[in-house]
Structure 1
Amino acid sequence: MSSTASLSLLQRYMNGNIVLQIAVGIVCGVGLAVLHPDSARALGLLGELFVKGLKAIAPVLVFILVMSSIASHKKNQQTHIKPVLLLYLMGTLIASVSAVLFSFAFPSTLSLVTSDVSQSAPEGIGEVLHTLLFNMVDNPINALVNANYIALLTWAVGLGLGLRHSTETTKTVLHNMAESVTFVVQFVIRMAPFGIFGLVANTVASTGFGALLGYSHLLIVLIGVMVFIALVTNPLLVYLTTRTNPYPLVFKCLKESGITAFFTRSSAANIPVNMALCERLNLDEDTYSVSIPLGATINMGGAAITITVLTLATVNTLNIAVDFSTAILLSVIAAVSACGSSGVAGGSLLLIPLACSLFNIPNEVAMQVVAVGFILGVLQDSAETALNSSTDVLFTAAACHRAQTK
């Protein structure tokens, strides 16, 4: 193949429909896993490289974009962060209450297993808030290395406010840096079909679908609540905000953000994808450059659902009597705790012992539930992340569209 033909093929790929390309990658990944599992596991390297690339560039992207956006912000220039934060809060709380309703309507039980899960879970809400507070004042270099988004946002906002008084030349340099990082991000995102091909091939070849059959009822409840939030309550919140048909925007966010998040299983890794989608939606950059990374940290409706459903399933398994008012209290705790879950795969599972402590369930039992969560995580965590991440864009777009129509 000549160099000209190769270049033409590359250009066609780069300009092609990325959602269609991802769909082809999914089908090819499943096919390879079924036909040749060993090769599929080996090609999982492509998925690992893709996710690692997203995670590597995301902290730099957040830090540079937020700092540049605030530094370039002009006085009396309106942003829409407050309504976005309100939507984040309402969405997470509604998700956790919905999880209670579904758990009461379709009660689940667990076959508790022993587990060697080594991570330590937080002991109380105070510890979660303590961790969040101290994460804010982390060393900025350490925050970049460890992808501590709370600290990155804190430092970016602080430096951005200081740089608002700098010269136009300095602001131009910051803007150019932001554009350069965005260019790198766009290239990494275009590699998504190959990365998702590797992720799907490795996951299906390594775990299959047999591990999920024993927990099919619980998994259906979890996924059912998430689908209900994605297609009913979130659109309702968007309608009440914009007074327009929400579903075109809902489906666009699910398609262009949710699909990638489903396979990367990391809200943090999906930040670049969401940033690019906000740009295509022509949203206010001063708003989404802050709301998207912030949403990856605190907008955790899917995590609240997971914490609530698994905790109530544990309660049912142990035959602990729970009235509806106590379950609602659990939903509030789950909503608050979800804001402290990390933006990485399985982050919400480690907060289950915190919710279980409300019912005096021993930590040893709670950690067994965490182990069950990791078994379900093949689909549960993927769906949770897709809901969380797509909702970040959805609520940001709703707030921006409302402001534009005023």
Structure 2
Amino acid sequence: MTEKKPMSLTARIIIGMVAGISAGGLLQWILPKDGDLIIPLYFFDFSIRGVFVDFFFEVGGQIFISSLKMLVVPLVFVSLICGTCSISDTSKLGQIGGRAVGLYLITTAIAISLAMTIAILIAPGEGVNMTSDATYTAKEAPSLAKVFIDMFPSNPFAAFTEGNMLQIIVFALLFGIAMALSGEAGERVAAVFEDLNEVIMRLVTILMNLAPYGVFCLLAKTFTDLPLGELLSLAYYFMVVFGVLLIHALVTYPVILKALTGLNPLIFLRKMRETAIFAFSTSSSNATIPVTLETVTKKMGVKNSIASFTVPLGATINMDGTAIMQGVATVFIAQVFNVDLTITDYLMVILTATLASIGTAGVPGVGLIMLAMVLNQVGLPVEGIALIIGVDRLLDMTRTAVNVTGDSMVSVIVGKSVDGFDEQVFNDRDAAKKDEDIDFHHLKKSKV
């Protein structure tokens, strides 16, 4: 009798995602906010909806998110130091950084250009005369000089506690270069960091095995609170943004990957499924870094010395999904308020959104802050954000999945261009599968 093959991690995560969406939607239908079932007890009123939404779903989801974020800073710092000190040629490091930044900015510019072109052709805001008293305060876009100055930490420990990824990346790069130039002392320190990296990656694997439950809680909470009425009223705008996101992820990225590397884009997309689901559920490129790094190195064959630099950098400056939302939203708001934008205005939107993506945190909701900057630049009313804020949560989840797909694609391209890529691993359908599942029962036995 053959032993039953365990279900793959990807399949379990997809089941968790579908179950979470179904549970959230069902709970919202049975127990809406204004129709909650309250049971009076001796000292307080017991809310049935609150037990599920505010306790089980909220607690489970936030613990999962916090666990992911807990790993981000140590993982990026240790991995980047290991990768940097293994590159003896510092000029190669400059090539990696230059190509990665260049590709990220180019794909962001393509994304927003594609979004505005499709939005102008479809015109989702024509005939929609919506008004709103709500306001949204715009944050002033930082100057390019300010962005470069802020990349260098005056206090690296403050950068760690604040989670400032650009400053952590710069400090790790300098520290790794210093280790590579320090001879035997650097080699001894490097050995310690290699061991730390191995332990942290094992911690990532353990956390990934708990992911189906975290994904379930996050999506159940989201779809319980998602205002379906607002989603339906703005369905035209929603479908345009969602459609452009799909085109960028399933057409633009594969075409660029095929053109620059000759690799099979279908293999790339298949191996991205798990990471995309993670990103969709967390709505945070930063929180997804551990999973993205694991996928890029173990499933796609990019060397850790490359991926440990390109993935965290991408989570910080690559905002293709956000750029798409900004492009469609700018055209939509202009049409709603009957404002005619010139070619110069559209070019200004492309430039502002591309530059504003540098240094913007990869956290949920940041796209709306960036959109306020863009609207200010072309003289559109910032209060127009109130029109789309109701449906932005679901779009935020989708565009994060697009962002991490772009991070992974650029990592593969850069890795292949500097001989930091194993094509055999990329083409191996079962690459890294042995690390997906941990037999916790076996671990308990081995300790006895």
Question: TM bucket by the smaller chain?
Answer: 0.7 to 0.9
Alignment partner, residue 20 of structure 1: 11
Deviation string 1:197-245 (CA, Å, 9 cap, x unpaired) is 0011111112253331111111111111111111111111111101243
Q: From 34, 48, 71, give the equivalent of 1:57.
A: 71
Match of 1:250 among 269, 277, 295: 269
Over the aligned positions, Cα root-mean-square deviation in angstroms equals: 2.5
Q: Give 2:167's aligned residue.
A: 151
Residue equivalent to 1:263: 281
Q: Is the 8 A contact 1:212 1:375 kept in 2?
A: yes
Residue type of the partner of 2:258? Y
Percent identity (aligned): 24
SS at match of 1:356: helix
Taking the aligned partners of 2:147 and 2:301, their CA distance within structure 1 comes to 35
Q: Is the 8 A contact 2:61 2:214 kept in 1?
A: yes
Structure 2 partner of 1:121? 138
Whole-angstrom CA distance in 2 between matches of 1:402 and 1:355: 34
Structure-2 separation of matches of 1:62 and 1:161: 16
Among 61, 65, 68, the alignment partner of 1:47 is 61
SS across alignment from 1:20: helix
Residues 163-182 of structure 1 mapped to structure 2, 5 A cutoff: 163-164=179-180, 165=182, 166-182=185-201
Q: Using the TM superposition, name which of 68-77 and 204-213 deviates more.
A: 68-77
Q: C-alpha distance in 2, partners of 1:331/1:145? A: 33
Q: After superposition, give the CA deviation of every residue in 1:361-399 in whole Å (9 maximum; x if it has no partner).
A: 3xxx41x33344432222210111000012101221133
Pairwise CA distance, 1:131? 5.0
Deviation at 1:340, TM superposition (A): 3.6
Q: Distance in 2 between matches of 1:35 and 1:250?
A: 31
Question: TM (normalized to structure 1)?
Answer: 0.88
Residues 219 and 380 of structure 1 are in contact (CA less than 8 Å); yes or no, is this contact kept in structure 2?
yes
Structure 2 CA distance for partners of 1:374 and 1:50, relative to 1, 3 Å: farther
Q: How many residues align?
A: 387
Contact preservation (8 Å) 2:79, 2:304: no
Partner of 1:67: 81
Compare CA radii of gyration and give the structure with the larger one: 2
Counterpart position of 2:106: 90
Distance 1:154 1:43, change over 3 A: same
Cα distance between partner residues in 2 of 1:196 and 1:28: 9
Using the alignment, how far apart are the partners of 1:340 and 1:202 within structure 2? Answer: 29
The partner residue of 1:369 within 364, 380, 384 is 384
CA distance in 2, matches of 1:195, 1:245: 32
Decide which of 195, 215, 223 is 2:234's aligned counterpart: 215
Contact 1:43 1:201 in 2 (8 A): no
Distance (Å, rounded) in 2 between the aligned partners of 1:341 and 1:77: 27
Q: Structure 2: how far apart are the matches of 1:205 and 1:21?
A: 21
> Are the equivalent residues in 2 in contact too, given 1:140–1:155 (CA < 8 A)?
yes
The answer to which of 220-229 and 82-91 deviates more is 82-91
Structure 2 gap ranges (5+): 29-48, 424-448
Instruction: Report the equivalent of 1:5.
Output: none
